[in-house]
Amino acid sequence: MLNTINPGNIKKRFYLLTSMLMMLGGISSSYASPLQLSAADYSYTILENTNLILDAANGLLVNSVNTSGSPITNVSILSSSNPGLVSASLTDPSSGAVEFFTTFGELGTDVVTYDFTLASGGASNIGTVDIAVTTTPLPAALPLFAGGLGALGLFGWRRKRKAAAIAA
C-alpha cells in the first residue's frame, strides 16, 4: 500500500512542530507567529434534498490548528461558489457548528469558504468545504419489482383474452 502525502497534514505537522519548538525555546516567537492559525479544508458528498449537520464535535474547528493560546471567538462563512445549490447556516459561531442545506432538485458541487478569528484579534487563513450533491440512487430491486408486476399484468390480460375467446 502506497502512502500518499497530504499537503494539509504536512502544514499541520509543521505548525505543531514549530509551536513545540517555540515552547522549548528553540525558535523565536516572531518566526512562529504567522503559523499559529490554520483553517482546515473538508470534503463531503451528500444526497439531494438532504441537509448536512456538523455539530461542535464534528464542526469546522475539529481539524483546524490554533496554537496561539487565545480562544476562538467567531467562525465566519465567507462565500459560496454555487449559492443556488447549498446554503450554509452557522448554528454556533464559537464552536464551528454549521448546517448545510441543499436546494430541491439541484445537483452539482459547491465550495463554501470560511475563516475564524481569535479573542486576541488574529484571523486564520481561509478554509474550504467542498460539497458534492448527488442524486438519490434508485434501489436495485425496484426495476425487478416493476418488471415482475408488468409480467403478471400481461399474463392476466392474456388469460382474460383467452377465456373470452373460448366463451365466444
Both 42 and 119 in a single domain? Answer: yes
pLDDT value at residue 27:
43
Compute the distance between CA of residue 28 and CA of residue 23 in angstroms, rounded to an integer: 9
For residue 70, the 8-state DSSP code is S
**51 neighbors 100 (Cβ within 8 angstroms):** yes
| pLDDT number for residue 26 | 46
Q: In terms of residue numbers, what domain contains 119?
A: 37-137
Identify whether residues 41 and 30 lie together within a single domain.
no
Assigned domain for 143 exists = no
Contact 98, 74 (CB under 8 A): no
Q: Is residue 154 part of a domain?
A: no
Say how far apart CA 116 and CA 31 lie, in whole Å.
21
- Kindly report, residue by residue over 86-95, the tens digit of the pLDDT: 888 888 888 8
**Is pLDDT at 59 greater than 70 in this prediction?**
yes
**Does the pLDDT at position 115 exceed 70?**
yes
Residue 71 counted as domain residue? yes
Pair (74, 114) in one structural domain: yes
Tell whether 110 and 47 lie within a shared domain.
yes
CATH code for the domain in which residue 83 is found = 2.60.40.10
- What confidence tens digit (pLDDT) does each residue in 124-134 have? 888 899 999 98
**Angle 64-16-74 from CA coordinates, rounded to 5°:** 30
